[in-house]
A and B are shown apart, each in its own frame.
Chain A
Amino acid sequence: MLSLIVSEGKDLTKEEKQRLRKEKKQQKKIKEKKDDKASQENEKEKKPVTSAAPASQPPTQPTPTKTKAELKAERRARQEAERASKQTKKGETGQQAATSKPKAPPSDLQPVVKRLPEHIQVDNPDVLKKLAKKLERQQIPLRSDYGYKVSLFSHLHQYSRKAPLTQQLSIPSTVIHPAIVRLGLQYSHGIVAGSNARSVALLHAFKQVIRDYTTPQNEELSRDLVNKLKPYISFLNQCRPLSASMGNAIKYIKKEISNIPSNCKEDEAKNKLLNCIESYINEKIILAGVAIAKCAIEKQKISDGDVILVYGCSSLVNHILCKAFEKNRKFRVIVVDSRPRLEGKEALRRLVQKGISCTYVLISAVSYILPEVSKVFLGAHALLANGYVMSRVGTSQIALVAKAFNVPVLVCCETYKFCDRVQTDSFVSNELDDPDDLIVTRKGTTPLEGWENESSLGLLNLVYDVTPPDFVDLVITELGMIPCTSVPVVLRVKNVDQ
């Protein structure tokens, strides 16, 4: 019964959307009539739904932005009316069920319907077709998937490093700015890896794009530049899926570009944008790192005699440890590493170069080494809106074992990496790296050499995993030390600011 209603609801929403577009033109004439009719039904059905309540209330505050909410409310009211009338046509049982379960159909929250992003629907041929069309329009080549995908992850892309996207591009690249092609190559080869590095490199490339940009005739910089950036972003996405930090940086730039007044001269506008980018990097990455290090050191999170465990190579955690060492704290570090990336070796190099005494283990030894550890410092790729920490694969295991040993786990993360996605497992949205990276040659033999020919063998090279907030004791950001569950608060505060 419930499923039938849900499907009906979905069908209706699509049709309603189409009808809505036509009706917008007739809005002003029939507006009042529909308002009256809708408000009665509104009160009946909207009461039990608390989350939708604030938007559907007729606005009483005299702020100018509320007119948007008014229109939204009217639109939703109209949809309710249409749906109600349709349901009366189809039968009373349907209507009764609808009124008794107002929360169930997603059409209740229709104005905030979220479409699933393309990159986690790879096994859906319609979505792939749409993507191919979009890329064709933007003149970006489509990168084809490689190798057999493990069935649990068949909804994600899996690319091979040996088939770079540049194979299908013309050599003096005309469609895509050369700085972006270089960046895409560096992403797909792994030369620029790590959340902060990728964002900084992205903003650097955007600076070059903006410098070389000239507004065409009869176009406005604020609109045309954003359109110019869209194919570049698709290209970078094809080279390697965008990280949360990159996504936030792109949102910021797009906002800055669209906020440029139309009477601004091109040079002035470009200078303004370049300065915006510089200040974003300065504030959100460099100064945030300094603030986090200061916070961690002064609040005695790193004290003398500590044994600190770090995993992989996080630029922020390395920075904190180096700063703490400079301030003459006596501690030692245990670096935990994992295949196939072996990023821990790079972290080890940086720490030892500073003079910090380090131990190096592989992740399989983590439960043996944990009794010695007093604190665990982890870096993050992104912090999700429900408090989960998305980081390099293996982090959740470390946090789990640390929790079992009652060792405090501290996550260090700048606020620009906070993202309003919600995820509770590592399957739904992840990144699949090149499976050939797992192949290793020892003493002249390569056991996995012909893995593609084995029909029952699949290689899986995951990049990220999510750690639940129960395992994380503290998150150190530049706004201070917050518990994991306060991430949505920070996000809301940020959104209000903007």
Chain B
Amino acid sequence: MELQAVLMAAGGGSRMTDLTYNTPKAMLPVGNKPLMWYPLNLLEKVGFEEVIVITTKEVQKAMSTDLKIKDVKMKLDVVSIQEDGDMGTADALRHIQPKIKTDILVLSCDLITDVALHEVVDLFRAHNATMAMLMSKAHEFTETVPGQKGKKKTAEQRDFVGVDKSGKRLLFMANEADLEDGLSIRKSIMRKHPRMLIKTGLVDAHLYCLKKAVVDFLTENKSISSIRGELVPYLVRKQFSKTVNSQKLKDDTDDQTQEKNDGPLLISSRDEPLLQLAQERSCWNDHRGDMSEAYHGGKLRCYVHIMDQGLCCRVNTLAAYIEVNRLAPKLFEEPSVHPSADISERCQMGSDSIIGAVCHIADKTSIKRSTIGNFTTVKEKVKVTNSIIMHGVTIEEGCNIQGSVICSNAVIGRGADLKYCLVGNGQHIEPEGKREGELSYQTEQPN
């Protein structure tokens, strides 16, 4: 077997608590499909037959009842971990280490993309890389987000990504938060790669191909707890560290302890001398202009594939969630109206709206650029524009909902007027209520 897929679905969605305080992030509906269905669909389309899903017990229960997830033909090996949030992604990998038999492809459940996966995996295969990851050019979010006054977003910590001139080899990766004194680049990197492009406008898709040796390395180094935050920068730095490249390790006693820790990372395959011979005899070199052999003799290599076209979005903020609800349905050619929905003939429905299963849409309603979830009831004379309505919602007559997100099982009273609001799970908006730019998710009443 070549690759095992691991889907990380235990994340709490800490940057969009308004949505996730009741529904786990992995099961948030996007285009009327649970969020984790999208990465699973990507894996299934490409040809995977088994996926290891790491998630919480809550999500596991929700998965077993969800129809779309049951539709997935792959074999899902669900591993549940504690929900307290102490376990990072790397800790989770360590937890499933006994199941890992080959190289792995790690995905996050909040990734929605239509990337050609072979581009990332080909880099991993062809260059015998230790890690290959996917990044994408970031796009501005254009929709107004409920609860945000104006378009100003809090400046998120930027990521500085350095690639070589071919744009494939990853040379440098750091987050703004770690660079308090400025960006410093080691001379050894500059000597080997005199031309480096540093990009800041990239979104990390959290899709990594890792060698099996990396998982073994994690079991020995229990201090690393997050893949993105710690493991990836560590691997990128390690490409150019002296211990990896130098031949004489016996003299340096300091390096010896490090060497023990790095041991598993540099495990060479069997028949290493044959591979060496093939490389020696080959007249290929990845760089020109200096005296070193291909890859500068480095055994640890990290590659990145940067997507510039196509959809690649990580749903970890409310803005991203809204954006993705607009774009994700365009990835698939499914009918926008579910066959079991009951829509009256005098309803005005725009072509870019999606109606879920078993909905009741009454007369004289107008639904434009919106997503309506399953089991939702929309009564007469309701105007829904630019909004996301989740499952089981009841909207009474005469409501006007604009640019809002209404979570599951909410009830919007008659004549309510909501603009850019977020209504939490099971909330009731009183009749004739007028809300603008508010987030109402405090649940004190029992449902």
Contacts and interface: CB of A to CB of B under 8 A. Distances in A.
Interface of A: 164, 166-167, 169-174, 178, 181-182, 185-186, 189-194, 196-198, 200-201, 203-204, 207-208, 211, 281, 286, 312-313, 315, 342-343, 345-347, 349, 352-353
Q: How large is the interface on B (under 10, 10 to 19, 20 to 34, 35 or more residues)?
A: 20 to 34
B121 interface: yes
Given A170-B47, A173-B2, A185-B122, A208 B271 contact: yes
A356 to B, nearest CB: 13
Contact of A164 (B122, B274, B282): B122
Contacts of A185: 122, 125-126
Interface string B103-134: 00100000000001110011001111000000
B285 interface: yes
Contacts of A192: 278-279, 282, 284
Contact of B278 (A164, A166, A200, A343): A200
Contact of B291 (A190, A193, A353): A353
Given A171-B121, A193-B284, A182 B271 contact: no
A193 to B, nearest CB: 5
Contacts of B46: 170-171
A241 to B, nearest CB: 17
Given A171-B117, A171-B118, A200-B274, A313 B283 contact: yes
A251 B271 CA distance: 22
A350 to B, nearest CB: 9
Nearest to A181: B125
Contact of A197 (B105, B122, B271, B281): B281
The 6 closest A-B pairs by CB, nearest first: A170-B47, A313-B283, A197-B282, A197-B281, A178-B2, A201-B278
A352 B122 contact: no
Contacts of A172: 1-5, 47-49
A194 B281 contact: yes
25 contacts: A166-B122, A166-B125, A167-B116, A169-B47, A169-B118, A170-B48, A171-B3, A172-B2, A181-B2, A182-B126, A186-B126, A191-B282, A192-B278, A192-B279, A197-B283, A200-B274, A204-B274, A207-B271, A208-B271, A281-B274, A315-B280, A315-B283, A342-B288, A346-B285, A349-B285
Given A182-B126, A198-B282, A201-B282, 12 more contacts: A164-B122, A166-B122, A169-B47, A171-B118, A193-B283, A197-B281, A201-B278, A207-B274, A313-B283, A343-B283, A345-B285, A345-B288
Interface string B203-236: 0000000000000000000000000000000000
Given A192-B284, A204-B271, A349 B291 contact: yes
Interface in B264-284: 270-271, 274-275, 277-284
B271 A346 contact: no
B283 A346 contact: yes
A200 B274 CA distance: 7
Contacts of A208: 271
Contacts of A164: 118, 122
A214 to B, nearest CB: 14
A203 B2 contact: no
B3 A347 contact: no
A64 B5 CA distance: 58
Contacts of B277: 200, 281, 286
B125 A194 contact: no
A185 B280 CA distance: 18
A345 B2 CA distance: 35
A172 B104 CA distance: 10
B158 to A, nearest CB: 29
B275 to A, nearest CB: 6
Contacts of B271: 204, 207-208
B288 to A, nearest CB: 6
A204 B278 contact: yes
Given A166-B118, A170-B46, A207-B274, A191 B126 contact: yes
A30 to B, nearest CB: 56
B47 to A, nearest CB: 2
A194 B283 contact: yes
Interface in B1-54: 1-5, 46-49
B235 to A, nearest CB: 20
Interface in B253-268: none
A110 to B, nearest CB: 42
Contacts of A189: 126
Contacts of A207: 271, 274
Contacts of B275: 201, 204
A349 B283 CA distance: 11
A337 to B, nearest CB: 11
B50 to A, nearest CB: 9
A204 B281 CA distance: 14
Contacts of B121: 166, 171
Nearest to B117: A171
A352 B47 CA distance: 48
Contact of A203 (B47, B274, B281): B274
A197 B281 CA distance: 5
Nearest to A352: B291
